Structure 1
Amino acid sequence: MLTLTENATTIITNLTHQPDAPEGTALRITSDSPEPGLAVTTATSAQPGDQVVEQQGATVYLDETAATLLDDKVLDANLTQEGKVEFAIGQQA
């Protein structure tokens, strides 16, 4: 199952727990982007078939394909100098 680094947990929690964010907002990773790869958005609930990853207050919804692709991976996140979030996927130890 996908795991999150401490940075990813903190950044996802900050993104999804904004004062104007609806209750239950989480990060959602899907494989249905127009280009090959994965898309990252926020969502207020899991979709049917989604795998739910919860770690230290951060919640990530993974569609079925993303869950399979990321099963043995770790998600990291950092903020750029411009304040944008960058996600990176690595291999679990």
Structure 2
Amino acid sequence: MLTVTDNARAAVESLAQQAGIPREGGLRIAQSAGQPGNFELALVPAPQPDDQVVDEAGASNVFVERQAAPELDALSLDTDPEAQSPGFVLTYQR
């Protein structure tokens, strides 16, 4: 299952609060429809019925689309320290 670092958890919580996302909402990771092998991240008000709920720490929920879950199984969601604004990276777990 995808893991979420403390930095990513804090960034998701902050972005969700700024965007006015309800408590049951969070960050959703799904396969990109236009670019196979890539992922799309979006703030959503609630998970889709088939989504895997990865992280429920406080208000920082992270959801993974059912079809994307196997590809993200050995990855970790973290923040990108070099990004100009809040950015996320997916890396292999150590």
TM-score by length of 2: 0.82
Larger % of strand: which? 1
- Alignment partner, residue 30 of structure 1: 30
Aligned to 1:50: 51
Tell me whether 16-25 or 43-52 shows the greater mean CA deviation: 16-25
Aligned mates of 2:19, 2:47 — CA distance in 1: 20
Q: 2:79 aligns with which of 77, 80, 83?
A: 77
> Cα RMSD over matched residues?
1.8
Assess if the C-alpha contact under 8 Å between 2:26 and 2:61 holds in 1: yes
| Cα distance in 1 between the residues matched to 2:67 and 2:76 | 16
Identity value in percent: 33
Partner of 1:3 in structure 2?
A: 3
Give every structure 1 segment of 4 or more consecutive aligned residues whose post-TM-superposition deviation is greater than 2 Å: 17-23, 78-81
Q: Distance in 2 between matches of 1:55 and 1:22?
A: 13
Deviation at 1:89, TM superposition (A): 1.0
Q: Partner of 1:17: helix, strand, or coil? A: helix
The offset of 1:92, in angstroms, is 1.4
Q: In 2, distance between residues paired with 1:27 and 1:47? A: 12
Q: Which amino acid aligns with 1:25?
A: G
Match of 1:14 in 2: 14
- Whether the 8 Å contact between 1:9 and 1:55 is mirrored in structure 2 is no
Using the size of structure 1 for normalisation, the TM-score is 0.83
